[in-house]
């Protein structure tokens, strides 16, 4: 028993040493747990803010996409309207041009007919003038002044 009593202080010291080590390890573990909790909290906050930022950017991108799509659709409709309007105008102008071409051909034909008639009239007039001149010559050579035509 005396040997047990001699070992007792050594044992108490060893127990105190181990108890101190345990307390130090426990404190260190608590410190690590707090740091991990803080890091986990910061990571969760960062992730949450990152997700919110991504959602906001995606929403903005979607809104920009919708605006661009609407602008393209409006431009397409405007372009189609302009194309239809130009097409109708072109058809109308082609119709007017065709009408004028027909009218021009009719006018040309009428002018050609008129020219032919005038040429005939001039030829007849020239023939009549020649006949009249011949007749005048015949009358003047026969000496009948009272039968002259004017």
pLDDT of residue 138: 86
Q: Do 132 and 115 meet the contact criterion of CB atoms below 8 Å apart? A: no
**In this structure, how many other beta carbons lie within 10 angstroms of the beta carbon of residue 132?**
13
pTM of the model: 0.46
pLDDT of residue 143: 66
Alpha carbon distance, N-terminus to C-terminus of the chain:
188
* Cα–Cα distance measured from residue 78 to residue 72, given in angstroms and rounded to the nearest whole number: 10
pLDDT of residue 78: 96
The residues spanned by each domain of the chain are: 7-139
Sign for the pseudo-dihedral over CA of 31, 37, 41, 42: positive
pLDDT of residue 11: 84
pLDDT, mean of each 10-residue run, the chain (150 residues): 80 90 94 97 97 98 98 96 97 94 93 96 92 86 59
Q: Where are the alpha helices (DSSP H) in the chain?
A: 2-142
State whether residue 147 is helix, strand or coil: helix
């Amino acid at each position: 028993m005396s040997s047990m009593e001699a070992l007792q202080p050594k044992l108490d010291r060893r127990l105190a040493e181990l108890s101190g080590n345990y307390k130090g390890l426990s404190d260190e573990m608590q410190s690590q747990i707090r740091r991990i909790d803080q890091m986990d909290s910061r990571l969760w906050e960062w992730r949450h803010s990152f997700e919110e930022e991504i959602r906001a950017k995606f929403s903005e991108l979607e809104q920009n996409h919708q605006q661009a799509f609407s602008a393209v659709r409006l431009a397409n409709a405007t372009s189609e309207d302009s194309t239809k309007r130009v097409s109708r105008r072109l058809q109308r102008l082609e119709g007017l041009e065709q009408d004028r071409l027909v009218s021009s051909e009719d006018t040309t034909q009428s002018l050609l007919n008129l020219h032919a008639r005038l040429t005939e009239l001039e030829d007849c007039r020239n023939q009549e003038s020649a006949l009249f001149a011949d007749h005048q010559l015949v009358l003047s050579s026969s000496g009948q002044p009272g039968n002259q035509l004017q």
